[in-house]
Structure formats: structure tokens, C-alpha cells
A and B are shown apart, each in its own frame.
Chain A
Amino acid sequence: MTVGFIMLAHQDLDRAAQVAAYWASHDSPVVIHVDARSDLRDFEGMKAALARHDNVRFAPRRPCGWGEFSIVAATLDAARIMLNDFPEVGHVYLSSGSCLPLRPANELAEYLTEHADTDFIESVTTEEVIWTVGGLDLERFTLHFPFSWKRHRRLFDRFVELQRKIGYSRRIPDGINPHLGSQWWCLTRRTLTAILDDPQRQEYDRYFSKVWIPDESYFQSLVRKHSTNIESRSLTFSRFDFQGKPHVFYDDHMQLLQKSDCFVARKIWPRADRLYQRFLDDNAKILVRVEPNPRKLDKVFAQANQRRIRGRDGLRMQSRFPRGDVWATQKTRGPYSVFEGFSELFSNFETWLERRTGTRVHGHLFDKREVKFSGGAKVYNGCLSNSAKLRDYNPEAFLVSLVWNTHGEHQSFQFGPADQQAIGDFLASDQNATIHVVTGAWSVPLFHSRMDFQRIRRIAARYQAIEARHVERLRSPHTRARVHVWTLAEFVEDPMTILKSVLDGIDPASSRKLTEVPRLADLHGFGQFVQKLKNEGMNPHSVGDFPLADMPGHGKPPIKAFAVR
């Protein structure tokens, strides 16, 4: 017994001829259908190229369009020729002009001899399929589709809608159990003969001529009526991308294709010279008796579709510029922390946190004069400049780039009312941000400064107003960032517990003792300072309820390391 090939070709006929010649010269008869719309000269050229093979036939040419019944009709014609002219054929394999055999012809023949009674055809009930174009599955069988999906999409969609609305449904003829699957099958002579000679065939053909994309359902459904032994998978490796167009193979897929152990692959780029050379050359083939294993290929294709549909989180670039909902929910590549008031309260907060967590801790990235990168760097990862003007030109791009460029290394930075505020809204709306705020902490450097008190009062009033707006934004229901707010008074009450929770937030694994703590600023007389502000007519409410007299233990830096559990 041998295997016969039906080949449906419509362009790049020279390549189709090459593959047909390969099969024909390996004792596999080939019946070719060439689309009537193909160039006549190309067709003549193909006929001439195959003239020396007496086991090649051409089916009458029909004009074929995407998703039209003519493709099924052409297949049926070719199948009839195959069964009549080549009685030695046991299996008939449906292929296209852009298919390429990956394993030697005799291996396929052997494989099919071992499975003499098996029909290889992907045939899935309409309830099970998830890959259908346009989301239509069972409705392919029960609605009318007079408008072209490719050319008149809107009419197509509206007409489907209309039929749904009025509850229209076509009757499915007896004996047809709607199934769908890949167009490329390999059927036994027995099953194919039964389909061709079915007494109801005229009725079926009439019915299927109005089903949408019948090449994916005609044989897939009828095989359920006639076959006793269906293996629901295609021997041809072919995958579709998110647009529903087949992925194409190029020369650089050689290794992937070799490792797939599939018998036939589709679709091959017609100029992939090395693939055609390699796979149509018997000497180069290694005989392997294994089952096809397209898992690796599938993974590659799945990743590609994922990249096209979902893309990389936190990336804004020339061909990915998310807006609307996607941008609202997913702005940056990964988590980062914002500290407000900490470096004002602790003289060595940044170096301490950097050492303690092993992550990158910047100063005030949004400082009005220049970007304060960690270690005072002039340029940072990805060549981000410390120029404040460049940063302020597009602060969002600056921060998105910073997080993207650091490849998941946790970034922290200081922020406060003296900084450029434009980024505030972005921070609040980014779910990757964790924001720790000690309100009123900006007053500590003022408290230590020797400025004229009137000036201090004015600055304090301004900072407090800016901070209040910012905190209000952080507390709005639209905020996606994780936000922790303490007043200065609350914070100095129990700074170590708070620092511990901050550390756990950055690196939960490192929950060990706080063996080394940063130096708290001297707050001796801070209560009086607050009172003085009040006396001057300003109410520093953001500081919280700070006692007039010094609290015990505050005001001098903790000398002894102590643990917080």
C-alpha cells in the first residue's frame, strides 16, 4: 500500500511542483488542483516540470477563494481521480502547495502501514473548539453567510447579528454531526470512498456550500459518520497566529523543524531555499521512528502570539504605546518604593536602606535642581541623565524607563513637597508603587535650619499645602499604589517597628533582626518649634499631635542596636 497526495496549490507553483516531484518520485501518486485564478503560464510551467512523472494528475481547475466551498469541491474532484486512477493507494493525504515533507516519504508510508485503518483528521465538536476565527463555531453550521468576511466585514457581522436576533437557524441534514478541525487530513481509502459515494452526498454538498469555511468542517463532520477509527490530529504541522493566518517557516527554522519530527509542515516561505534543499534531499535525512512532537514549535508560536497581544509589562516603546485601561492598570515593569520624609528624619537613611536590603536607593529623583541618583551618579542605567530639565520634559517616561532599565532590581527613591510634583499622580496610579509617607517630616530640616523664622513659616505653609494635596491624591479611591501614611508624631512614637515593616515590604525573606538602625535626627525642642509655628498663625497639622515637652528617649540617636520582633 502507498500513500497518495492531493495538493491544493494557488501560488508559487514552482515550489509546489518541486514538492510534488519529490513525492511522485517516491512512489506516491499526486493529484494536483491549481486555482483557476493562478497565472496560466505558471500552470503550464508546472505541468511541464512534472510531465516525466506518470503518477501525477491534474484535477480540473476551479476558482477558489478563502473559505469558499470551491476548495472542498476541488478536493472532492481530486480525491475521485486519486481513488480511480491509483488502486494501490491506501491512505490519501491532503496537502497544500506550500507544504514541505520533513521526514522521508518511506517513513510516512511505513507509519501509515502500521496504522492501516486509522483516519488522521483533526475533528473536534463545536463545543470544544476555542480557536475559531470570529468566534463562530456551531453557528457556522446554522446561519447564512452571504457576505465576504474579508471584504465586507461590517455587513458580515451585522447579518450574523440579525440572524441571531430573529432566532434564525438552518436545519442541519441528518447524519451530520458538526465537527471542526484543521483542513489538512490523511484518510484511508475506505473512509474517503464512503464519503464520496455517500447516497446523501448531493444534499450534503448543497448544505455545506452555505456553511462558513467548509474546508474546516466538511470532511471533519462527515468522517464522524463513516469512520470507525479516528485519530483526531493532523499529521501536518500548521499553526495560526492571532489574526488567523498561518505562521510561516524560514531557513532559520531548520533546527526547530528537524526536532519536531512532524511528517509535513506548513507553511513554508517560497524563498526558503535551504529548507527546500535540505528536506527534499533524501541523503540528508536521518531515519527516525518516532511520533511527531511539535511541542517545542508550539511553545515558540504561543510566545509570539503572547508578545503581539499582551506585550511586555512596563514597556513603552515605538511599537507598544498602551493607553486607556491597559495603561491604567499596568504602567511599570515591577515593584518600587517611594519614601517621603525618611531622609529628613534619618541622617543616613539612603545608605542604610541600600546596605540593609541590597537594593538601589536613590535620593530625591525629582529634586528641582538635578536628579539625585544613588551615589550621585551623573548618568544611570540606560543612560538616564541627571538633567532635571530632561526629566521634567517627560517625568513619566523618566520613571518608566528607570524601572524598565533596572531589570527587576528593586528601586527606592525619596520624594517630598520640595520636589517636582508632576509625577505625583502617576505614582498614586501605579500599582507597582509602594509609598511610605511621614507627613510633616519636611519640617525637621526647617527646624534645624538657621533661616529667618518668617521665611521658615512661609516655606512650612507651602510645603504643608503641597503635601496635603499629594496625600489627598494618595487616599483617593483611584489610587492603585500601596500607601502607608504616618504623621511625624506617630512615626517617632515607634520608628523601629515601622522601619521593620518597610524592610519586610521590600524583601520579606530577610526578616531578621534589625541589627543596625539609621540615625534619627535630633528632635530636642521640636515641640516648641511646632508651638512657635502655631503662635505665628500657621497650623502644622500634618506633623500630628506632637507634645510640647520632649518625649523620653527621643531627640538623641539610638546608640544601642535593638531587635524588633
Chain B
Amino acid sequence: MRDENEVEVEQGFRVLSLIERYRLRLERKRKQLRFVRKSRELRRVVNRTSDIRAGDVLLFSVLRNERIRLPYFLEYYRNLGINHFLMVDNDSDDDSRKYLGEQPDVSLWHTTHSYKQSRFGVDWLNALQYRYGTGHWNLVVDVDEFLVYPFCDSRPLRALTDWLDASGVRSFGAMLLDMYPKGPIDEKEYKEGQNPFEIAEYFDAGNYMISRNPKYRNLWIQGGVRARVFFPNDPRKAPALNKIPLVKWRRGNVYVSSTHTLLPRGLNLVYDESGGEKTSGCLLHAKFLHTLRAKSEEELKRRQHYGNSREYRAYKQVLEKSPDLWCPESEKYINWRQLEILGLMSKGNWV
């Protein structure tokens, strides 16, 4: 049996200069120091982590004012077999905190500090993962991201992580797939507890652009509806869609930026370069619901998002003019098999 990551790391060893390796190591160590510092910004609301058992799959998330999304989010991931949720509330003023605090499988921290200064929540979660996630498979998602993986309708997440373990794979890629409704995004109102993809049921199937980042070796994917509608004249600024949300956590791991990139960088090799397909999934992104308008306005005031919240500026501008993201070529979502056939994700050799 072959440990896939190890073989690749070995190949990398030969190609890479020692200096570059050392630099990345320093970067990783700096990030670790940083999250140790940033972890002091977290105040415990309720800590139920003593319930975590060996082999449990854990979910980590940062949120702000997402009360309406929480019930379905928790339900979805409980059904997939997440055993414990570790959440950071970035000072919500709806009752997200109260609601989460009452959930039996949620441990909750609260912070009033800057989302931006914690590198969009990465530092906070790195700290929690270091403390509670080591030795477990950790899933890091936002509350509007829903993981879809091969056989997710018939096998729990644990089946996937067991198989990844047996295959010697330590990280699992799942591209962000932006979902949107037909018609103006605030035409249909999302109701608490509802499956958001009953409303946002369309996606762009084949307009993605991929390049490889030589420094971290991850793929950089852009495209989809956000590039098509919001950044057709400035594609460079279109948001990154590559994500590696599921990782068997070791003590030295750190997320570098969002869940796009990890160190050590062997973890970023979730793709095959010799023609084969590694197993991968998708994160269905339920961003484009009626809630986006209020969110955009708030976030533009707070200016706590990436690139001076330029994304939210673009949303606001475009959505005021033509709020329909749907086009005649939009694909209606059915299930993971459809995404597999379209080539957005792959079963690899998992049967």
C-alpha cells in the first residue's frame, strides 16, 4: 500500500530547494505563533468538547448574524454524521449565540475582535483545531457551505474519512460551487429551517479557470457565476473557489488563507498531475439568497472582508441593476452524481 501524500512529498523534496522549504517552515511557525496570540481573543461561551470521542469527525466554523441559517446547517451536517460542532461567534447581534449555546453538540466561543485582523477567522479556527481537532478529521466550512462528496446520499462522512485514512490521504478537496435562484435573488424569501437549495437550485457547470500556485502547490480555481456576472471585466479579482475543507489534523497543520491553502503544503495536493482523478467533492454555496442584500449593506459598513470587501461592493452594484444571476445555460442541481458526470467532482477510485 502506498501513502499518496508521502510519495508526493518525497518527489517535492528533490525538486525543492532547501531554502524554499525552510522559508515555508518559518511561515508555518509564524502562523502558529499568530494563532496562539489570536486565541486570546476568544471567550468561551460553552465548552462541551469533553464529549468528543476518538474517531469523531468535527466541524469548525466562524459566523456572524446567521441565526436564520443555523437550524438547517446543523441538521444537514448532523445527518452527514458530524459528531461535534466547534463554532466561533463574531459578535452577532441576532440571537445566533443563544441558539447555538443551547445545542447539545455545539461548543461555542465568542469574540468581539476584528474578523479581518484574524485573517478572516483563520487564526481563531487554527487555534481551536490545534487544541481540539488534532488527530481528528476536521471539516472547516462557513454556515452557507454544504459539503457534497461521492455517495453522500448513502454513506456518512465517516465512511469517507475511514477510506481516506486507509488510502493514506490526509486532505480532501471540495470546490466551492455557487448556487443561485432563477429570477431576482430576493424574489423568494428563505425561511428558517428550509433547504436553501430549494430556492438556489442553479449553478454554472463548465466555466471554471484553473491555474497552479507554485509556492503552495494548490490549484487556484476561479469562475462560475461570480466571475460571469460580477467580474467579467476584471477576472483576476474573481473570488477563489478552490477549497480543502476536510483535513486529518496534525499538530503542525495551519490554514494559510481561508480553507484555500494549507501548510505543510503536501496537504494542498488534492489533485493528480498524471491524468488520474483523485476523489473530490463540492461545497454547495448558498450565498445568493434574499439575505444577501442586507448582508452586503452591513458588510460594506463594517469593511471586514477580503480585499476591502470588494466582493460585496460588486454584489451591491450588480444586483441593483440586474438581480437575476440565472441564464439559459444554467444547470439545475439534482445530486452529486450529476456533479460527477459534469466533471466538477470525482469519485476517484472510491467505489
Q: Report which A residues bind B (CB closer than 8 A).
A: 66, 133, 150, 241-245, 247-248, 250-253, 269, 271, 300-301, 304-305, 307-312, 315-324, 326, 330, 378-385, 387, 389-390, 393-394, 397-398, 401, 404-405
Contacts and interface: CB of A to CB of B under 8 A. Distances in A.
Contacts of A251: 154-155
A308 B155 contact: no
A130 B319 CA distance: 60
Contact of B206 (A245, A271, A382): A382
B175 interface: yes
B6 to A, nearest CB: 8
Given A308-B348, A390-B227, 5 more contacts: A247-B351, A307-B277, A324-B273, A383-B204, A401-B208
A271 B236 contact: no
B349 A305 contact: yes
A193 B236 CA distance: 73
B233 A387 contact: yes
B207 A304 contact: no
Given A300-B351, A308-B348, A389 B235 contact: yes
B225 A320 contact: no
Contact of A250 (B154, B167, B209, B227): B154
A318 B219 contact: yes
23 contacts: A242-B349, A250-B154, A250-B159, A271-B159, A300-B351, A304-B351, A308-B278, A309-B275, A309-B349, A317-B280, A319-B278, A319-B348, A321-B273, A324-B274, A379-B228, A383-B207, A383-B327, A383-B329, A389-B233, A390-B232, A393-B236, A394-B210, A397-B208
B154 A321 contact: no
Contacts of B279: 319
Interface stretch (B31-39, B183-191, B306-314, B339-347): B339-347
Given A269-B162, A315-B343, A309 B276 contact: yes
A251 B155 CA distance: 8
A252 B150 CA distance: 12
A311 B209 contact: no
Given A322-B274, A401-B206, A304 B347 contact: yes
A385 B228 CA distance: 6
Nearest to A389: B233
A318 B210 contact: yes
B264 interface: no
Contacts, number: 190
Contact of A405 (B2, B206, B209): B206
Contact of B235 (A308, A379, A393): A393
Contacts of B347: 304, 307
8 pairs of A and B residues whose beta carbons are closest in the complex: A382-B206, A308-B349, A319-B280, A383-B204, A387-B232, A393-B235, A405-B206, A252-B154
A390 B223 CA distance: 9
B273 A308 contact: no
Contacts of A390: 207, 227-228, 231-232, 235
A150 B166 CA distance: 13
B14 to A, nearest CB: 12
Given A271-B156, A393-B235, A379 B210 contact: no
Contact of A326 (B2, B162, B274): B274
Contacts of B225: 383
Contacts of A301: 351
B2 A244 contact: yes
Interface residues of B, number: 66
B54 to A, nearest CB: 11
B273 A323 contact: yes
A358 B136 CA distance: 55
Contacts of B162: 248, 269
B315 to A, nearest CB: 18
Query: Which of B4, B174, B275, B348 has the most CB atoms of chain A within a 10 A radius of its CB?
Result: B275
Contacts of B235: 389-390, 393-394
B272 interface: yes
B217 to A, nearest CB: 11
A308 B4 CA distance: 12
A11 B277 CA distance: 30
Contact of B205 (A271, A319, A382, A385): A382
Contact of B275 (A241, A248, A326, A394): A326
A310 B330 CA distance: 29
Contact of B343 (A317, A322, A324, A385): A317
Contacts of B331: 383
Contacts of A316: 210
A319 B270 contact: yes
A319 B210 contact: no
A245 B166 contact: yes
B99 interface: no
A383 B206 contact: yes
Nearest to B282: A318
A100 to B, nearest CB: 16
A241 B169 CA distance: 14
Contacts of B351: 247, 253, 300-301, 304
A385 B221 contact: no
Nearest to B166: A245
Given A247-B351, A379-B228, A318 B206 contact: no
B19 interface: no
Contacts of B231: 390
Contact of A244 (B1, B156, B221, B271): B1
A397 B276 contact: no
A310 B276 contact: yes
B350 A318 contact: no
A254 to B, nearest CB: 10
B156 to A, nearest CB: 7
A389 B222 CA distance: 14
Contacts of A242: 349
A374 to B, nearest CB: 13
A311 B270 contact: no
Interface string B149-161: 0010011101100
Given A245-B1, A382-B329, A393 B349 contact: no
A315 B177 CA distance: 17
A243 B327 CA distance: 43
B53 to A, nearest CB: 14
B104 interface: no
Contact of B271 (A66, A318, A384): A318
B234 interface: yes
Nearest to B203: A383
A324 B212 CA distance: 13
A311 B349 CA distance: 10
Contacts of B346: 307, 311, 317, 319-320
Contacts of A248: 162-163, 166
Contacts of A322: 272-275
Given A252-B151, A252-B154, A318-B345, A308 B277 contact: yes
A379 B329 contact: yes
A394 B173 CA distance: 22
Contacts of B219: 318, 321
Contact of B276 (A250, A308, A382, A387): A308
A406 B92 CA distance: 46
A134 to B, nearest CB: 9
A525 B224 CA distance: 50
B58 to A, nearest CB: 18
B275 A381 contact: no
B167 A245 contact: yes
Interface string B130-161: 00000000000000000000010011101100
Contacts of A304: 347-351
A229 B222 CA distance: 63
B208 A317 contact: yes
Contact of A389 (B167, B211, B232): B232
Contacts of B204: 382-383
A318 B221 contact: yes
Query: Which of A301, A317, A319, A322 has the most CB atoms of chain B within a 10 A radius of its CB?
Result: A319
B253 interface: no
A312 B210 contact: no
